[in-house]
Amino acid sequence: MVGTIIVGSGVAATALAQRLLEADPSASILILEAGGRVKTKDFALWQEYLLTRNLPYESCEDLPFPTRDKRGENAHLGEIEVNLNGARLFNYGGSTMHWGGWSLRLKPEDFELRSRTGQGADWPYGYDVLEPYYGEAEHYLAVSGDSADPTVRRSRAFPFPHFPFTREDSLLADAMDRLGISYGAMPIARRGLSDVPSRHAPCQTTGTCKYCPFGARYVASNYLDDLRAWNDYPNLEVRLGSVVETIRTTGRGRAVSVVYRDRTSRETVTVDADRIVVAGGAIESAKLLQRSVSAEWPKGIGNDEDNVGAYLITHPFLIFRGKRKSNELRLQPEMDFPTLVSRHFDSPKEQAKGKYIIVNPVTTAPIDLARQMRLGRSRAEIDGYVTGEMTMTLNVLVEVFGIKDNRVSNLTDRRNRFDMLETGVSYSNPAWKIREVEIGEVVARLWDEMGALQLGSPSVSWRADHAASTCRMSRDPAEGVVDADLKVHGMENLYVVSNGCFPALGAVNPTLTLTALALKLGDHLVAAGGAG
Amino acid sequence: MYQKRVQSALSARAPSATAEVDEAMWALFLAIGDYWMLTDDVTGYRGRLQAFMANRISLDVGYLGYYALAAQVVEELQADVVAPAAAYARLFTARPSGGEEDSDLATVKAKVVDEFITWRLALGGFRDFGALNYRGYFGGANLSDEPVPYRTRNAD
């Protein structure tokens, strides 16, 4: 018998486990992770990435959807292709292995989406309830940010100062100044230095953030390794290669065990637990509840109202490209994360149509010196290339609203390379094109101010990096899957903590909010019945 | 699993390039700077190049062969021309095309020269093109009381 089983080993699982263990170092916690270990902070692997751009965790991604010629994985069932390939990772530490670290808080109006707009759903509580946990999450994730930024109210400063705007930000920042569009520093999970001791190194601005050789960007497996190697937590265990098949219940209200398949031994293992927390991401968490079928839960746990897996949302990611006649400032990618973000249109005024943020990406001036030299260009030719015609990029992340028919489901006859049931993704959004045009008009003004011409239409990625809302919180069981404490409606000891719990996603990256939720859940569990 | 590094009974005896090959690779690395007129200070680069090569060999022992082949190709090119610089120039500007992809020259270009170019830029060669930081360069931390490790919006 285990005190608490946590399914998944990403940021939610790790932050929660740490919270429980800090409350009771003897807490009994078993973490089950379907994937294996990817080595972090290895200089040979870092060099390989530097040279080839091949990442050591690419094999942990979903394959692309099947085509006539390739088997692929998963199935795209709706009108819009919400791609899973590259959106998430199956490995120890979950998708934090590749996340960008953009750590923006939701705004107060995001918690009141339906009340204010009639769209989507409200959170069961307001910003002020989550605000202290946002502060804790920023410290836990080691976020560098501007504590004086007035965008949202904060009661605690960031742990590390913000990164100043880069030279590459100058054109966009100047254009926004002239157009009266507000902007600020991107809060970014990159560790700095402070008086608080840490086993993790500060960011050395190495420009290879997708595989940091120092571990300065939060990766959950590094923190789980800390818990296991350095702390005296005798009852914490992590089992890798453990594919959870189902959760068993007794009667209708109590979860009693987890059944998983050991990918190495091929055995099916049942583990009893006092409490079960599903932290497997928005897609796999919903799928696990769906397939946990019993006489009491014939459509899966918490799924009487067909809400599990439904209301799928993500962020469409718009990529605008432009061109300037010259690059007199010799702008080049000097950093591998953005330092400028505009939340000007992430505002109550825009909420009914879908808020959005504008980001100046690291590819703004995609100068590639190494490629020029590999092509045998002379020094004079390369100097001309650096200062000559310049292509530019702007990124926009847009809020969309939950629709019940947009959903994820288990493909019961197909398993992926990790022996997990594959995923069916159904997504449509008939209203999208209108919003894309409106945003394009704003970006056109920015290109004008920057002295640039837009190149073609923007490309739109609906990749499921920010998939959310599939197990959404609600006061009313008919409207969602979990309650305000993340407990599955109708269950007394089964919880979900993932982006799937968000009733609304706003226009910003979800990981900071998810971390805040995990820390809040930890406090709730400790208060409700002990650490485990 | 994903891990490419092979652990075996021989792992403790990590293979490394011979002294002659090591010397030839250092000369090649310096020639990159000469050809593109890079003015970065190469003090300390030799040890970092050796660590770089050791890391490549640790992931793929075939790199021992690539480095030896590179030394041989450079020697052959130098036998063809009067000035060593011209031999390196021929190597740096080679554009192997149809039917030549498997040639010694093409292999050396892809596995050694192109990788050394990336490493030379990352160690500091990039500065000649106007930036303060670069992909792969250890620019340093963002500390309140120290210079920002990249060009900022308002800097000169």
Q: What is the pLDDT, as a whole number, of residue B13?
A: 66
* Nearest by CB: B56 against A47, A57, A167: A47
What angle in degrees, to the nearest 10, is found between the helix axes of B114-123 and B45-59? 130
Segment A160-164 shows an average pLDDT of 97
Q: Name every residue whose Cβ is closer than 8 Å to that of residue A374 and which is 6 or more positions away in sequence.
A: B113, B114, B117
Closest-CA residue in chain B for A171? B153
pLDDT higher than 80, residue B3:
no
Are B142 and A170 an interchain contact pair (Cβ–Cβ within 8 Å)? Answer: no
Please give the Cα distance from B129 to A312 (Å, whole number). 46
pLDDT tens-place string over residues A422-445? 999 999 998 899 999 999 999 999
pLDDT tens-place string over residues A408-424? 999 999 999 999 999 99
pLDDT higher than 80, residue A506:
yes
Are A382 and B37 an interchain contact pair (Cβ–Cβ within 8 Å)? Answer: no
Window B:110-149, CB contacts with A under 8 Å? 113-115, 117-119, 121-122, 126, 129-144, 148-149
Q: What is the pLDDT, as a whole number, of residue B12?
A: 58
SS3 assignment, position A166: strand
User: Hey, what are A149's tokens?
Assistant: 């930024």
φ/ψ of residue A321, rounded to 5: -120, 140
Are A335 and B133 an interchain contact pair (Cβ–Cβ within 8 Å)? Answer: yes
SS3 assignment, position A424: strand
Name residue, tokens 């990611």: A317
The CB density around residue A241, as the number of other CB atoms within 10 Å, is 20
Segment A484-507 shows an average pLDDT of 98
Closest-CA residue in chain B for A340? B153
A42: nearest Cα among A209, A210, A205, A212: A212
pLDDT higher than 80, residue B101:
no
- Binned at pLDDT 50, 70 and 90, residue B10 comes out as low
pLDDT higher than 80, residue B97:
no
Amino acid at B83: A
Are A167 and B155 an interchain contact pair (Cβ–Cβ within 8 Å)? Answer: yes
Mapped to the 3 state alphabet, what secondary structure does B101-118 carry?
Answer: CCCHHHHHHHHHHHHHHH
- Binned at pLDDT 50, 70 and 90, residue B2 comes out as very low
Q: Are A231 and A239 a contacting pair, CB within 8 Å? A: no
CB proximity B13 to A under 8 Å = no
Q: What is the pLDDT, as a whole number, of residue A82?
A: 97
Please give the Cα distance from A104 to A513 (Å, whole number). 8
pLDDT tens-place string over residues A349-376? 999 999 999 999 988 888 999 999 999 9
CB proximity A161 to B under 8 Å = yes
Q: What is the pLDDT, as a whole number, of residue B1?
A: 37
Q: Name every residue whose Cβ is closer than 8 Å to that of residue A431 and which is 6 or more positions away in sequence.
A: none
Find the farthest-apart pair of alpha carbons in chain B and give their distance in angstroms, rounded: 57
pLDDT tens-place string over residues A58-75? 999 999 999 999 999 999
Q: Are A100 and A339 a contacting pair, CB within 8 Å? A: no
Burial bucket for residue A465 (CB in 10 Å: 0-12, 13-18, 19+):
buried
Distances (CA, A) of A83 to A98, A430, B24: 16, 18, 48
pLDDT tens-place string over residues A180-205? 999 999 999 999 999 898 989 999 99
Mean pLDDT of all residues in chain A?
Answer: 96
DSSP 8-state secondary structure symbol assigned to residue A211: G
Predicted-complex ipTM score:
0.92
* DSSP states of A13-79: HHHHHHHHHHH-TT--EEEE-SSB----S-HHHHHHHHHH---TTGGGSPPPPP-SS---SSEE-SS
pLDDT tens-place string over residues A326-356? 999 999 999 999 999 999 999 999 999 999 9
A434 vs chain B: nearest CA distance in angstroms? 34
Q: Are A262 and A33 a contacting pair, CB within 8 Å? A: no
- Binned at pLDDT 50, 70 and 90, residue A389 comes out as very high
- Of the listed ranges A201-210, A264-273, B2-11, B114-123, the one predicted with least confidence: B2-11
Q: Name every residue whose Cβ is closer than 8 Å to that of residue B125 and which is 6 or more positions away in sequence.
A: B32, B33, B36, B38, B40
Of A120 and B15, more confident = A120
pLDDT tens-place string over residues B106-128? 999 999 999 999 999 999 999 99
Name residue, tokens 């090649």: B28
